[in-house]
Structure 1
Amino acid sequence: MGPQGFPNPPQCLAARDSDTKKRCPQPSTAPRAPTPAGRKWGGGDCSGNPSSPLARVPPRSGLKARSSAAGQCSAGKPLPRQTVRRSQRYALSPPSCPVEIAGKPETDRAMATPSAAFEALMNGVTSWDLPEDAVPCELLLIGEASFPVMVNDVGQVLIAASSYGRGRLVVVSHEDYLVEAQLTPFLLNAVGWLCSSPGAAIGVHPSLAPLVKILEGSGVEAKIEPEVNDSLGVYCIDAYNETMTEKLVQFMKRGGGLLMGGQAWDWANQGEDERVLFTFPGNLVTSVAGVYFTDNKGDTSFFKVSKKMPKIPVLVSCEDDLSEDREELLHGISELDISNSDCFPSQLLVHGALAFPLGLDSYHGCVIAAARYGRGRVVVTGHKVLFTVGKLGPFLLNAVRWLDGGRRGKIVVQTELRTLSGLLAVGGIDTSIEPSLTSDASVYCFEPVSDVGVKELQEFVAEGGGLFVGAQAWWWAFKNPGVSPLARFPGNLLLNPFGISITSQSLNPGPFRTPKAGIRTYHFRSTLAEFQVIMGRKRGNVEKGWLAKLGPDGAAFLQIPAEEIPAYLSVHRLLRKLLSRYRLPVATRENPVINDCCRGAMLSLATGLAHSGSDLSLLVPEIEDIYSSTYLRPSESPITVEVDCTNPGTRYCWMSTGLYIPGRQIIEVSLPEDAASADLKIQIGCHTDDLTRASKLFRGPLVINRCCLDKPTKSITCLWGGLLYIIVPQSSKLGSVPITVKGAVHAPYYKLGETTQEEWKRRIQEHPGPWGELATDNIILTVPTANLRALENPEPLLRLWDEVMQAVARLGAEPFPLRLPQRIVADVQISVGWMHAGYPIMCHLESVQELINEKLIRTKGLWGPVHELGRNQQRQEWEFPPHTTEATCNLWCVYVHETVLGIPRGRANIALWPPVREKRVRIYLGKGPNVKNWNAWTALETYLQLQEAFGWEPFIRLFTEYRNQTNLPTDNVDKMNLWVKMFSHQVQKNLAPFFEAWAWPIQKEVATSLAYLPEWKENIMKLYLLTQM
């Protein structure tokens, strides 16, 4: 097989009969003779004689009821006549005589890709001399194999080609084109390209009988064949046959070439409520290869012969064909509620022409989508857990019934998803639990975890099967930094051709609205088409929030590999064209960019375009900003730095290089051969927050770039620039690796215990990078260079930070020094809050002094940063979300302030001033203690009362014990009861009454098991309860 599933080139193209006729012709590559004066190429016989019997085959009669004879529709009414500009015969060079068919090995090899196949199909074609009385229909192309051959001046595809299985397909949008002698050069090319079996015959259905004469007149043998059969290499038929659908599909799948012509607009006019895309006879065959006849009339007023493959239009109207599907899937459903699912589904990118969203959040993020593909159907959910959500029961039943398409066939559920089988049984749907897809399945419900069997699953759908997929990609993306899930996630290798992709962006669990009939719903392709109009005309409006969604969706779409996949490549080219026409907005705090407008969309699209490898010279900013400082001049000589690529931790980590990459710079990174196979990755930029949902942008929404260092030398681009990092995988023992970078500048970098004060002074003066770092083995602070210049000697500050980190590790029962240093990065804008936890911890620029001013830290404290360090210490095993999410992390704040900084808790934060604490407890008890109201500071009080009674040691021992245990409970009630038992054992007191006073849901068996322990007489909650009465 060739790329994108194209079969390997035919081997029979030069095969000859005993006379001058050939069974399978090859597109002509013979030298072209000069055009005789006054002659028109592409019509007449080989001499160009228009009086030849082949100049125009007479209109045929006796066609099927819905097929059109020349000048007549099947109802006998004249078809609208279209003016064809026959002068449009662009003289690329005259074609060779169709009889002269010569083969070249390089031609055979070239036909394995769509672009080479296009050249083969168009070789020698200098005009589209269409019959004036044949009104075509527009063709719709989807999937990864289909490509356009003829496109008119308004962007409608009228001739297309594709592949399926081992075979090939050419579709023309009117059957009369297949009996038009003026199109002989193209018809010969088509038949030659379609043939893949040496010496195989060419069969022609009786409905296209005149085509036999056209082919034989050019020395190509063909014969009338009422039925397709395996002895044929190519079969030519109109699009109206309803008896050979399955035979034609299997013929193509086994390696046959299919040439089909027809138009669907007249067929649709004769039917009642016909859904052309899914019921037109031709579509039941061609759709398996991603080509559809539509009921849109094709414009034949102007054509040109393309030198290169034309673009596929972004949008072909087919909304009416999908509305019934949407209604069936959402029958009786007003919302999709996953509030209590305890999962964060991935956001779905719905980009296919026949794909549509079913559940959307307030930002138009999609959680469930469906699609038609070939004769089959697909439904995708953003997490497999959604298969188990009881509230989704009615939808799951609708989905399986829709996927089955009325066949009442076998419903197969993957073994790992057996819970879904139970939900379906409640609704009267019987299922079969199997480890994989079975040959007799009608619907298959599963989670894609590998790329095994992708082709078989795609063919299952194309030939009529239903696929119900549940998967999320954010965990895969976390485990594979620098690798795009759109390109490599196993689920997307399957789903991308269907027009639905699973992204690494997660959605919050909650109710999702469903599209309503008559109300427009966001779709990537329709919004992109409107964006194109607005950018061209500088006016127009789209629905609220659509442009804010278009930007990140377009950036994600650009991650889908598009090489030799015309359906994707056409969109990539359109985006490049749009962004190259206008200067790129620069967002700053002083001049923010509104996200939900064209300028906001441009920022996201530009990032995606840059990361896809496009020429960065296309993206010229309006002004410079802190992220794209082109005044920085990279060193003309490469810079080599030694990077420690040892990582004893249990997750990947960033290793600083002390280098900065200016914006719009293409860098070249080199490393040793052995390191190129060690799963290292490179990252430009440290400002990782995704701002795509911000209403205003102070910077680009995504400003980092990651990619794999899988070659000894690799070129990388980043639109916005940033500090350079090497990402090292967990458990790496690679050691020190020399990394050579061409196109970088030095940035200020200080490492405690390694950098001298003199080196620091020189670096801060000479290194121009706008961002710098202060590092120890346990913490790394990334702040603007402007803030570092006032720091003469970072050593005392960093020693204090190491004390802080030692205290953080001690309370959390972690080894010290830390296996993985924590990072705090300052940014002009972050995604949520004043600071937020993660790797790295993010904070605003206003917090920089709180990080690097030692005197300020010792006097005012460090509550915000330590709060986020505490968040990073929290563990699922002893966290009770949402109650303790903002509570237990503050234990680290209290511990650090009291043991390291000497600041008592009441002074460290006013919320812990004793009178405030007492008032809070009394309010909680006064309302009637209820765990629903036990949150944040109130929840923290429970832990502080225990600490003040028993000290910090029980906490440290308890956290140690949790780290060493396995098979711990996952629901809040069981986890809370386990905490009660374990803490009681640590202090050898029965704490059940204490926690009951706080309204914890203490289980009877737990209270009983603790009864043997001494009573905690100093229980402060007794006093509160007594005085509350």
Structure 2
Amino acid sequence: MITTFSLLFFQSILNLYSYVDMDKNSDSNMLILGVSQISSPGIPGNISVFGPDSFGIVQDKNGQIIVAGSTYEKGRIVLWGHDGFFKKSSIETGDTGQLLSNAIKWTTRKTAPKVGITNDLYLVNYLNNIGFDARLIEIESFATVDLLIGGIEKTSTKQQIEIKNWLKRGGAIIDSATGWGWKQINPRKKLSDDFARNIFYAQAGLVFADGFSSDTTQDGFLVQQLPSSNTNAYFALDQLAERSSDELNIPIQEIKILSKTLTTAVNCIPTGDRIFRSRLKTILEPRLCEPIPSPDRPITDEDILQRIAMLERIRQSKSLPAEDVEAHLSAKTFPGIPQITAPLVKRSIEIDHSVPGWHSLGLFANAGQLIRVSLTPTSVKKKLKVRIGSTTCDLRNKPFWLRAPDIISEWPLEEQETKIASPFGGLIYIVVTNPKDEGTTITTIEGAIESPYYKLGETNLVDWMQRVRYLPAPRAEIASDKVVLTVPSAEIRALDDPKLLMQTWDKILDLSAELAVLPKSKDYPQRYCSDVQLCAGWMHAGNPIMIPSTTAQNLVDVNYLVREGDWGFYHETGHMFQNSDWTFEGTGEVTVNLFTMYILDKLCNIKPEFGRLSKPNVERQYRLYFKNGSQFKQWKKKPFLALYMYYQLQQEFGWESFQQVFARYHSLLPNQRPKNDQEKRDLWMANFSKIIDRNLGPFFELWGVPISKSAKNSVSTLPMWLPDNFPPTK
């Protein structure tokens, strides 16, 4: 008779050996003994696992690895996707500490090893308190301990060789890093070839990847069993060696994990790797085709071969000499190709060093076309760069592609002449990286074609009407000193009054600065760029602000902007003027809409009460919220409900009250700025109360927004204010 106990025992045996296909002799299951859930500090990054002796330990809800291990000859390694795992708030949450303890014992094969830590006194004390022999060490003393935690990033090449040899002889390393965080700090560098940790750990089949993790529970990551071999790119390649993704007899979710595993590996493994890339080449070459993603025929995460073939093709093209780069067929989708042949031109353009960031040139690089960029001898030291491509959206981690995923290239201008080429083409920019330099540079571009480009105050309107707007390049820019709009050229062919358009956009930026009480002039323009697919959201803030191509026509339609207005455009503009001191948790998508409403009010004469807050569902949310007890955790989840609170203040005290409050924040000394969310809420309530000479403590309390007793006391002598009929009774 099969009992419940025997079924559970059988299932436990299956779980125990779920990873046996990866390493039959592995004792790696001991790593998760006593571990059911670990914490999630911040947003951990992913780890690419790609060696025959490496494996995942913890995965996120999408099957991406956040803790991984590997054997390296006689040594052992465990990597974590965030250094916050070792901080007090995380290590004491769930079974995080138990997993670390298991990792120490597994890597060292000892129950009481000597542990050397390079930079974390708390971790030293924590490990000593749970029975380990831990100490702070200098990295040079690594050979005096059984296990080294951290420190690899501070080592010289010679030290790395010494540590690697020690590891091979039986040493042990535990380390942590966040790949996407490193990318943000080093946007011009490659995670695959410039991140010291990745170069070091790649020989063990592990590298830190550039993806974001997704928690499996509200509190972190569940740990039920070791992840399947589909999370290891080495074994994932075996799945594709003799069959296509259409022939894989595994669930769709596993196919998606397989796809993500392989695309992550292609993105992040060093160019010189000998474990994965040579096998990848062998598998791709016999059936390599030219993938061409488009809105009509996107490449999804189920099209595994096409995805990794495209990523590998892009990677290879970026390593070629400019003379050898060929056009990619997907350039037709985005950024586009000229509809008629256009003459190649040579242009010399003056670049102002005091203006940071991208400088538009009115030039377009055809896909695969060799471009020569020349500088004067004195300008070579100015740390300038040249860029092809106007989007900032990297789609490599997206589940589907409507265009090629990685189409942007930048080159440092370190010689008097630099040759460049892009397989996708795009608008050309000179990038000023050091705006402290004075003076100007004459930059000569040879081999590009002219693109439609209008600059307010510079471009002759007759020339625009008769020639410039009809130039055949597929991308165009309409600009002023404050704003640059980048759209498909088709959207501006009929634009008769670019001057009025840019004057309108200047006003939009001026209104935003006016509400924030900031100077209306900036050192650089705010850019808006359309793309057929974005990497985040419907639109997203940044410079450029990215918008979908379907809205590009509205971006250059002055009548639409003034009469109807565009919540999305004005919302993303508002993000560029938000201040974190008065934007506490739950209000990132709330305080931004003060700018949206202000622009609609002043530019379009659409008052806040007639905008989105007038919709019936907002009124229902408002009444239901108070009926259910006005819980702050619900307030934070509903941006338009939260905005209603700000709207009540605006209706009673006007926009001027917000401007006066914002102005107060500009005069704060560093030690007066709020240091946490509680202080942000307190200061916002107190400042607003003092500006309007009313006690807003009860108003915030009724809304459920937590305010400290001391903050309430600071305005208690002011007369109390509440809106009429507040809180609602029905």
Please indicate, yes or no, whether the TM-score normalized by the shorter chain is above 0.5: yes
- In structure 2, the partner of 1:419 is 122
Between the aligned partners of 1:331 and 1:853, the Cα distance in structure 2 is: 62
Give the SS at the match of 1:502.
strand
State the 1:599 CA deviation.
2.3
- In structure 2, the partner of 1:409 is 113
State the 1:747 CA deviation.
1.3
Give the SS at the match of 1:690.
coil
State the 1:539 CA deviation.
5.4
Structure 1 residues 688, 362: closer, same or farther in 2, change over 3 A? farther
Structure 1 residues 466, 544: closer, same or farther in 2, change over 3 A? same
| Deviation digits for residues 138-180 of structure 1 (CA, Å, limit 9, x no counterpart) | xxxxxxxxxxxxxxxxxxxxxxxxxxxxxxxxxxxxxxxxxxx
Structure 1 residues 773, 765: closer, same or farther in 2, change over 3 A? closer
- In structure 1, the partner of 2:601 is 898
Counting only pairs closer than 5 Å after superposition, residues 802-821 of structure 1 correspond to structure 2 as: 802-821=506-525
1:870/1:893 contact within 8 Å kept: yes
2:707 corresponds to 1:1002: yes
2:171 corresponds to 1:465: yes
Counting only pairs closer than 5 Å after superposition, residues 289-688 of structure 1 correspond to structure 2 as: 319-320=22-23, 323-325=26-28, 327-338=29-40, 341=41, 343-388=42-87, 389=90, 390-391=93-94, 392-406=96-110, 408-415=112-119, 417-425=120-128, 427-434=130-137, 436=139, 438=141, 439-446=143-150, 448-452=152-156, 453-508=159-214, 511-512=220-221, 514=223, 516=225, 519-534=228-243, 543-546=254-257, 548-550=259-261, 552-557=263-268, 560-562=270-272, 566-567=274-275, 570=278, 573-574=281-282, 577=285, 582-597=288-303, 598-613=305-320, 621=329, 624-627=332-335, 629=337, 635-636=343-344, 638-647=346-355, 653-688=357-392
1:555/1:606 contact within 8 Å kept: no
Question: TM-score, normalised on structure 1?
Answer: 0.62
Aligned residues: 691
Question: TM-score, normalised on structure 2?
Answer: 0.86
Between the aligned partners of 2:370 and 2:476, the Cα distance in structure 1 is: 21
Between the aligned partners of 2:283 and 2:385, the Cα distance in structure 1 is: 27
| Letter of the structure 2 residue corresponding to residue 644 of structure 1 | D
2:48/2:261 contact within 8 Å kept: no
- In structure 1, the partner of 2:626 is 925
2:421 corresponds to 1:722: no
State the 1:566 CA deviation.
4.7
Structure 1 residues 901, 1004: closer, same or farther in 2, change over 3 A? same
Give the SS at the match of 1:386.
helix
- In structure 2, the partner of 1:839 is 543
Give the SS at the match of 1:586.
coil
Between the aligned partners of 1:1014 and 1:791, the Cα distance in structure 2 is: 55
State the 1:613 CA deviation.
2.3
Structure 1 residues 587, 836: closer, same or farther in 2, change over 3 A? same
Structure 1 residues 538, 808: closer, same or farther in 2, change over 3 A? closer
Between the aligned partners of 2:387 and 2:627, the Cα distance in structure 1 is: 53
- In structure 2, the partner of 1:706 is 410
2:647 corresponds to 1:938: no
Counting only pairs closer than 5 Å after superposition, residues 177-188 of structure 1 correspond to structure 2 as: none
2:690 corresponds to 1:982: no
Between the aligned partners of 1:518 and 1:865, the Cα distance in structure 2 is: 43
- In structure 2, the partner of 1:972 is 677
| Letter of the structure 1 residue corresponding to residue 43 of structure 2 | F
Give the SS at the match of 2:237.
helix
Structure 1 residues 477, 518: closer, same or farther in 2, change over 3 A? closer
| Deviation digits for residues 386-419 of structure 1 (CA, Å, limit 9, x no counterpart) | 212123222122122222221623212233x333
Between the aligned partners of 1:454 and 1:748, the Cα distance in structure 2 is: 52
Between the aligned partners of 1:667 and 1:464, the Cα distance in structure 2 is: 52
State the 1:556 CA deviation.
1.4
- In structure 1, the partner of 2:651 is 948
Give the SS at the match of 1:371.
strand
1:628/1:664 contact within 8 Å kept: no
2:452/2:473 contact within 8 Å kept: yes
| Letter of the structure 1 residue corresponding to residue 504 of structure 2 | L
Give the SS at the match of 2:421.
strand
State the 1:866 CA deviation.
0.8
| Letter of the structure 2 residue corresponding to residue 931 of structure 1 | F
2:191/2:268 contact within 8 Å kept: no
State the 1:878 CA deviation.
2.5
| Deviation digits for residues 199-258 of structure 1 (CA, Å, limit 9, x no counterpart) | xxxxxxxxxxxxxxxxxxxxxxxxxxxxxxxxxxxxxxxxxxxxxxxxxxxxxxxxxxxx
State the 1:730 CA deviation.
5.2
1:823/1:839 contact within 8 Å kept: yes
- In structure 1, the partner of 2:11 is none
Between the aligned partners of 1:957 and 1:937, the Cα distance in structure 2 is: 23
Between the aligned partners of 2:564 and 2:76, the Cα distance in structure 1 is: 62
Match of 2:612 among 910, 933, 943: 910
- In structure 2, the partner of 1:118 is none
Give the SS at the match of 1:545.
helix
Match of 2:697 among 987, 992, 995: 992
Structure 1 residues 397, 922: closer, same or farther in 2, change over 3 A? same
Higher fraction of helix: 2
Between the aligned partners of 1:322 and 1:655, the Cα distance in structure 2 is: 58
State the 1:425 CA deviation.
4.5
2:118/2:139 contact within 8 Å kept: yes
Unpaired runs of 5+ residues, structure 2, are 1-19
1:643/1:737 contact within 8 Å kept: yes
- In structure 1, the partner of 2:9 is none
| Deviation digits for residues 486-539 of structure 1 (CA, Å, limit 9, x no counterpart) | 22223334333333222343334554455835943321222234334336x995
Match of 1:878 among 578, 582, 587: 582
1:584/1:603 contact within 8 Å kept: yes
Aligned-residue Cα RMSD (Å) equals 3.1
2:338/2:472 contact within 8 Å kept: no
Give the SS at the match of 1:857.
helix
Between the aligned partners of 1:517 and 1:476, the Cα distance in structure 2 is: 27
Between the aligned partners of 1:630 and 1:352, the Cα distance in structure 2 is: 45
| Deviation digits for residues 853-877 of structure 1 (CA, Å, limit 9, x no counterpart) | 1111111112111111112333333
- In structure 1, the partner of 2:6 is none
State the 1:791 CA deviation.
0.4
Structure 1 residues 976, 623: closer, same or farther in 2, change over 3 A? closer
| Letter of the structure 2 residue corresponding to residue 570 of structure 1 | S
Between the aligned partners of 2:714 and 2:663, the Cα distance in structure 1 is: 23
| Deviation digits for residues 765-799 of structure 1 (CA, Å, limit 9, x no counterpart) | 55221011111222211110001101022000110
State the 1:634 CA deviation.
6.9
Between the aligned partners of 1:491 and 1:396, the Cα distance in structure 2 is: 20
| Letter of the structure 2 residue corresponding to residue 955 of structure 1 | F
Between the aligned partners of 2:434 and 2:162, the Cα distance in structure 1 is: 35
Between the aligned partners of 1:715 and 1:350, the Cα distance in structure 2 is: 36
State the 1:970 CA deviation.
4.5
Structure 1 residues 748, 365: closer, same or farther in 2, change over 3 A? farther
| Letter of the structure 1 residue corresponding to residue 204 of structure 2 | F
1:551/1:604 contact within 8 Å kept: no
Give the SS at the match of 1:823.
strand
Match of 1:1020 among 719, 723, 728: 723
Structure 1 residues 387, 1000: closer, same or farther in 2, change over 3 A? same
Give the SS at the match of 1:718.
coil
- In structure 1, the partner of 2:503 is 799
